[in-house]
Amino acid sequence: MPKGATYVTVGVAAGHPATAEAGLSILDAGGSAADAAVSAVLASCVTETVLTGIGGGGFATHYDAATGTVTCLDFFCSVPGLGATSAPGPMRPVEISFGGVPQQFSIGGASVAVPGVPAGVAALHRRWGRLPWRDVVAPAIALADRGVALPAAHAGALAAVAPAMLPGAGGATYAPGGRLLTGGELLYHPGLAETLDVLAGYGPGAYYTGPLGAGITAAVRDGGGVLTAADLAAYRVRTQPVDVAEIAGHFAHGRRDLGRTVATLATLPPTMSKLPADERAVALADALVTYGPQGRGCTTNISVVDAAGDACVVTTTLGVGSGVWIPGTGIHLNSMLGEGELMLPGLRAGQRMPSNMCPLVVVDDEGALVLAAGSAGASRIRSALTHTLVNVLVAGMDVPSAIARPRFHVISDVAGASPVVHAEAGYPAAELAALEAARYRVNRWNHQDHYFGGVSAVGSAGAAGDPRRDGVGVIVSPPAGRIPRQRTAPDRRDPLRARPPAG
């Protein structure tokens, strides 16, 4: 975005057209960024169920334009087992290919962690929502009632994660008649509209207690897991400290994730905007190689900016899916305990699990919103967001171009070997040559792929979802779709200094 821009786009960016339209309808009705994000998240639990769901977890970053306050909410999954009277049974290993590389996951009841999405969206609405709760949930109910078209990119992801998606009720949903759904075909979850209607009428408490809560614990127990009623009753949304990193005279705010996305941004050289493109690529790779595990999984992201200039970015995930479905509800539960890189030593029942997810907001040196962005893609979240922010803030691209531009991901998990740069087709040859001269090994892909993340962003330079995942950006019709950027007192605290919780 050119420095000095005076307007912010009002709109929604998401991983499915119907998800984005649900959020946009709430903005059109006078809803806040949080209202629209909540509506879009619940819609994604209908439209993007290959990637996320109401049985998963996530994180949100909210920007208040009037005060310049940034708040990060943690509603990710917790380790179950509070009050459990037996040990968990074995998980079932499955092999899933991401980017053509077979990887091992584990599914089944023992892979299910305590879900957080219902509590998380309710917390967002309670703190920053304006419209009635039922109105915010209504678009998701309507989508669930009729079903949605499965985008081609999501059909490709389904083919990859089918071993985790097809057990239980997943077979009838994703492979009716024994054939996997393809792009453009109807995705419909029986019972999900009724489940969302219960959520609309009774709030998230209906999910953590009562018949729905009992159905969750019973299904997990029958699958060999140890998720208990005590786990559901004890679940709480948490406020996390906010880290800050300066990049090209702007300030990126986000949680301290497993991959250290904000710390990665902070390691970019202050002279980044003055470097030629080939040197910039090497600097970017050097920053990416500094932090982060090599994770994987299925995720989606939603970014919203409203007419007040407030922003809300929400990233959610189901893992690859546990194969455990709650009968009659359309709810598929997460597989977080089956993702080995998330199971850090010492995690105990009741503790929150770590994650690579890092929804971000970027402001200028006067505290005005520049960009609200997040990404799907496990360990590639960090790569995708870093590329996007560099493209917008350093190279001056508009948001659609910044997200669509080919990018790379760096892997350095072999001791003593040079890091490998996995580069998408179309990434500039001169920049790849510079990386090789800097002793990176370059693996040139022959196509663009959802492996490289799924960014959605809204800001001064426009709105867009990631074409790798058939994402879209939609805006409120002009002139309301372009609003003056709010000026707030600049925050002079040091970048990367953890801020105390705001709530």
pLDDT reading at 247 higher than 80? yes
Indicate the range of 92-96, 191-195, 400-404, 491-495 predicted with least confidence. 491-495
Other C-beta atoms closer than 10 Å to the C-beta of 100 total 9
Structure tokens at 234: 């004890």
Element (H, E) at 104: strand 101-107
With a CB cutoff of 8 Å and minimum separation 6, the contacts of 329 are: 191, 192, 194, 195, 212, 215
DSSP 68: T
Confidence at residue 378, expressed as pLDDT on a 0 to 100 scale:
82
Indicate the range of 70-79, 218-227, 271-280, 409-418 predicted with least confidence. 409-418
Closest CA to 54 of 77, 21, 71: 77
Indicate the range of 37-41, 122-126, 210-214, 222-226 predicted with least confidence. 210-214
pTM for this structure? 0.93
Higher pLDDT, 345 or 166: 166
Give 253's strand partners.
244, 361
Distance CA 462, CA 402 (A): 10
Structure tokens at 186: 């109807």
Distance CA 292, CA 73 (A): 21
Distance CA 89, CA 224 (A): 5
Decide: helix, strand or coil at residue 142: helix
pLDDT tens-digit series, residues 448-487:
988 899 999 999 999 999 999 999 999 986 655 666 655 4
pLDDT reading at 295 higher than 60? no
Q: What percentage of the chain reaches a pLDDT higher than 70?
A: 90
Decide: helix, strand or coil at residue 73: strand
Sheet with 369-376: strands ordered across: 243-247, 250-254, 360-363, 369-376, 454-459, 462-465
Give 483's strand partners.
8
Distance CA 307, CA 304 (A): 10
Region class of 4: left (phi > 0), else alpha (psi between -120 and 50), else beta: left
User: Region 163-187: what's the mean pLDDT?
Assistant: 95
User: Region 29-50: what's the mean pLDDT?
Assistant: 98
Residues in the chain: 503
With a CB cutoff of 8 Å and minimum separation 6, the contacts of 127 are: 34, 62, 71, 503
pLDDT reading at 26 higher than 60? yes
Confidence at residue 99, expressed as pLDDT on a 0 to 100 scale:
61
Beta-sheet pairing, 441-444 with 420-423: parallel
User: Region 187-210: what's the mean pLDDT?
Assistant: 93
Other C-beta atoms closer than 10 Å to the C-beta of 480 total 12
DSSP codes joined into one string, 262-309: HHHHHTS-TTGGGS-HHHHHHHHHHHHTTS------EEEEEEEE-TTS
Higher pLDDT, 8 or 463: 463
DSSP codes joined into one string, 352-369: BPP-----EEEE-TTS-E
Element (H, E) at 316: strand 311-319
pLDDT reading at 340 higher than 80? no
Structural domains for the chain: 7-484 (3.60.20.40)
Higher pLDDT, 113 or 487: 113
pLDDT tens-digit series, residues 256-282:
998 899 999 999 999 999 999 999 999
Is 241:501 a contact under the CB 8 Å cutoff? Answer: yes
Structure tokens at 462: 């426009």
Beta-sheet pairing, 69-75 with 57-64: antiparallel
pLDDT band with cut points at 50, 70 and 90 for residue 225: very high
